[in-house]
Amino acid sequence: MDKLLIQGGVSLKGEIRIAGAKNSALPILAATLLTHDTVKVCNLPHLYDITTMIELMGCLGVEPIIDEKLNVEINSSSIKHFNAPYELVKTMRASILVLGPLLSRYGQAEVALPGGCAIGSRPVNLHISALQMMGADITVENGYIKASVKGRLKGAHIFMDLVTVTGTENVMMAATLAEGQTIIENAAREPEVVDLADCLVAMGADISGQGGDTIVINGVDELHGCTYTVMPDRIETGTYLIAAAATRGHIKVKDTRPDILESVLSKLEQAGAEIKIGENWIELDMHGQRPRAVSLRTAPYPAFPTDMQAQFTALNCVAKGSGTITETVFENRFMHVHEMNRMGASIRVEGNTVIVDGVEALKGAPVMATDLRASASLIIAGLVSENETTVDRIYHIDRGYECIEEKLQHLGAKIRRIPS
C-alpha cells in the first residue's frame, strides 16, 4: 500500500487540466444498461471507482471497449447476468446505481447492499421504496436487494423524504422506460444529476425539470445509443483552488465550469483570493498573502458542498483569524480533525461544527487518511506544513482524484508516492 510524502512550504503556481466528474461518470456508465445500442462515454477520469464500475459491467456480461483516451464504448446487448456481487459493491457505494436500469430494462436485478450498510440507513431505503411505488417487488435478504417486476415499471408520483443524489438518479433512470409519467419531488439538484439527465435525453428519454427540485419523466418504449462527454469535476476543481489559496499561490485550472462553483468561489474570495473566470477556466491569485479564515455551512446544491468542507478546514488551519464550519449533510465527517491537530492545528469539534483558530504554520507529521475528501484535506495540510508529512492509506484518494501527485508536482509541490 502506498503513502504520499510531502515537503511543505511551497506556494502552488502554474496551470492544470481538470478531469471528468466521477459523480457524473458513474451514473452515466450505469445508464448505458438502458439500451441495446452502443453508447460512447467520453472524458472519463482515470480512477479506481471508474475501473470498478467497468468491472461490474463485465460481471453482468457486457464487454466495454476502451480507447487510449479512456473513452468507453458500451453495448449491453450481450448482458447475461443481473447480479452486482458484494466483492465489487463493497468497494463502491455507487454500484447501487445499476439497480434502476437493470430493473427497468430487464425486469430483474440483484444488487448487494453497499458495504456494511444496514437497511435502516435511509438513502438505500429511499431507492427501494421509490421503486416499489413504481410496481417493483423487492426483498432484502442475505445482504442483497432482490428486485423484479412483471412487465414494465409504472410511472409514479414520488416524494423523496431526504434529498439523495443517487436515489434521484436511480429513480430517474428507472422511470425512462416505465409506463406513463413519473414525478420526483424534493429531487437532488446537483450538476451531476443534470449531467445524467442530459445524457439520458441524448439517448431519447423524455425528461424535464432537471436542476430544479421537481423532475418529470415521461416513459418511452426504448432508448438509443449516443456519444456523451462527462462534465468536469467541480470537487477536483475546488480542491486545487483551495490548495493554492492555502499555500498563498497563483494557479489556473482549465477544462472546468465556473458556473457550478459559485458557492466555493465566493468563499475563496472571502479568504482573500483574487478570482478571474472564463467560460471553462478559473484563475486564483493570493498575491503571496496569508488567507483569511472563513465560516461556512454545508447543504445540498446549490449551497456549499459537503465534499469541500474538509479542504476548507485545512485552509482555516493556517488562516488569519477563526472560522466555524458546520456540517449538515453527513454525520461523522470530521475524521480529519484529529490528524490535523496532531500537526499543530487548533481545531475543536462541537456537535456538527468545527471551530478553527488559525496558526502561522502546521508541523509535518505522519497522518492517516480516513475517507476520500479527508485525504485531500490532509494533503493540503501537508503542503502548508513546515518539514515533512506522510499521508498513509491513500487508496481513498485514488478513488476520487486522478493523478493527484503528478498534478501537484506540475504546480511545484514537493510530493511523491512511496511504498509503505
- Residue 229 CA to residue 195 CA, distance in Å, equals 9
Strands 181-185 and 214-218: antiparallel
Q: What angle do CA 17, 270, 323 make, to 5 degrees?
A: 110
DSSP letters for 279-307: SSEEEEE-TTPPPBP--EEB-STTSB-GG
- Residue 165 CA to residue 82 CA, distance in Å, equals 23
What is the DSSP secondary structure assignment for residue 18, as one 8-state letter?
Answer: P
- Single-letter amino acid code for the residue at 190: E
- Residue 404 CA to residue 340 CA, distance in Å, equals 20
How far apart are the two ends of the chain, measured CA to CA in Å? 6
Q: Which residue, among 14, 20, 375, 15, has the nearest Cα to 230 in the 3D structure?
A: 20
DSSP H or E stretch at residue 14: strand 13-17
User: Does the active-site annotation cover 199?
Assistant: no
Contact call for residues 205 and 176 (beta carbons, < 8 A): yes
Count CB atoms within 10 A of the CB of residue 227: 12
Q: Which of 42, 117, 199, 403 is catalytic?
A: 117
DSSP letters for 221-253: S-----EEEPPB-HHHHHHHHHHHHHTT-EEEE
Q: Which residues are catalytic?
A: 117
